[in-house]
Amino acid sequence: MTSQQDQAALGGPLAGVRVIDLSAVLMGPYATQIFGDHGADVIKIESPEGDSTRWIGPGRHPGMGPLFLHLNRNKRSVALDLKSPQGAAAMRHLIEGADVFVHNLRPASIARLGLDYESVSAINPRIIWCGVYGYGEDGPYAGRPAYDDLIQGAVGIAALQQRSGASEPRYVPLTIADRMVGLHAAHSVAMALYGRERTGRGCRIDVPMFETMASVVLSDHIYGHTFEPPSGGAGYVRLLSPGRRPYETSDGYICALVYNDGHWQRFLRAIERDDLWVDPRFANLSSRTRHIDEVYGFLGQTLRGQSTAHWLALFEQIDVPAVPLNTIESLLDDPHLAAVGFFQQVEHPSEGTMRTFGAPARWEGYDVGKLAPAPRLGEHTESVLRECGFDASALASLLASGAAVPVVADAEVSA
């Protein structure tokens, strides 16, 4: 390997890439955390008040809540007042040396800050500019605010919950839209970086939440409306069956998927119900899908008759996928996660002992195990600005004006 390859191999695959992260809450920070986990130098630009997720959940110090800690590892925090002339000038200086700029402000807001694509690319033509926000600019919803809950409702997720058995529409208890859209932003930027290696050109990427999640939901649920005229209704019937849920056993619950023909042949033989293999409802995947409520009803009734341990042992013996039902609490003690070293206990400089986890993918040839602690607000303001060429006088002027905010002292944080 060349010396450059040697250096890259010591870090993650994005070593040497600098990301300016003007995002807050969850969607953007999730995307930029992925960059940081894979070696990029992520500079998180925060307002003097800080990212609002700093204040969510039980923490040991104000502004260092658990959501923030798990979304902002492997980043450096620079606190700037971008509405001030000096803060805006400092931001433009940071952009000069960046490879990627990510934000999740509405288009009108980012334009008011002078950080729209045209303005940023004029400063740095090679930059990858990525905007992650609610709705595409070409439609009637352009410029509207959007959050995970709203997008879940807008793309039909909440209504699907009711169709599948809930008493009323409800949101999935995960920030699924924020995280799915964040993933799309991350892989889009990664592809843009690869493209720039070949062309030398930067580019603009817009990742609208509504359209992104509509594509995710409709990939499963456009179903019969794929065709014109429709060949059937919308909604993948297996996913919507009220019987698609963890099955009750004689002493708890089990998650099992008796799915393909081989699974069913072996399962029916094991429970001495070979007679059902000639039942047209069970004959093949297509027929089972058409009769999915009856099929799941049969499974539910059958599995109630024995213990969870009995069924887990049987399913393992006949090679049918099954797992015990975990709670969040039992997931923390899952033996597989323990064996693969999923959780790590680390010492945060200000927050003390923490349980955390890093990038789930395993790499050979690169180190993606870095777990730099999530920063305090403004922790790296001074060091990053010095790196970017601000001398002592210019830095002092920024700090004195309030356009840049240094790290808050521990005593002030605890006050």
pLDDT in tens, 196-233: 999 999 999 999 999 999 999 999 999 999 999 999 99
Q: Do the domains 18-216+371-405 and 247-324 sit in the same CATH topology, yes or no?
A: no
Considering the domain 247-324, what is its CATH architecture?
2-Layer Sandwich (3.30)
* Cα(208)–Cα(217) distance, integer angstroms: 14
Considering the domain 18-216+371-405, what is its CATH architecture?
3-Layer(aba) Sandwich (3.40)
pTM of the model: 0.93
- Name residues whose C-beta falls within 8 Å of residue 105's C-beta, 6 or more positions apart in sequence: 22, 113, 131, 133
70-109 core/surface letters (b: 16 or more CB in 10 A; e: else): bbbbbbbbbbbbbebebbbebbbebbeebbbbbbbbbbee
pLDDT, the chain, mean: 95
In one letter, which amino acid is 209?
A: M
- According to the model, what pLDDT value does residue 415 have? 43
Domains of the chain, by residue range, sit at 18-216+371-405, 247-324
Task: Decide if pLDDT at 146 tops 80.
Answer: yes
Tokens at 214, concatenated:
């509509």
CB 64 within 8 A of CB 350: yes
Tokens at 410, concatenated:
């521990």
CB 189 within 8 A of CB 266: no
Backbone angles phi, psi at 21, to 5 degrees: -110, 95
* Cα(266)–Cα(284) distance, integer angstroms: 14
Burial of residue 399, with CB atoms counted within 10 A of its CB: 0-12 exposed, 13-18 middle, 19 or more buried = middle
**Range with the lowest mean pLDDT among 92-96, 302-306, 364-368?**
364-368
pLDDT in tens, 164-193: 999 999 999 999 999 999 999 999 999 999
What band does 409 get if pLDDT is binned at 50, 70 and 90? low
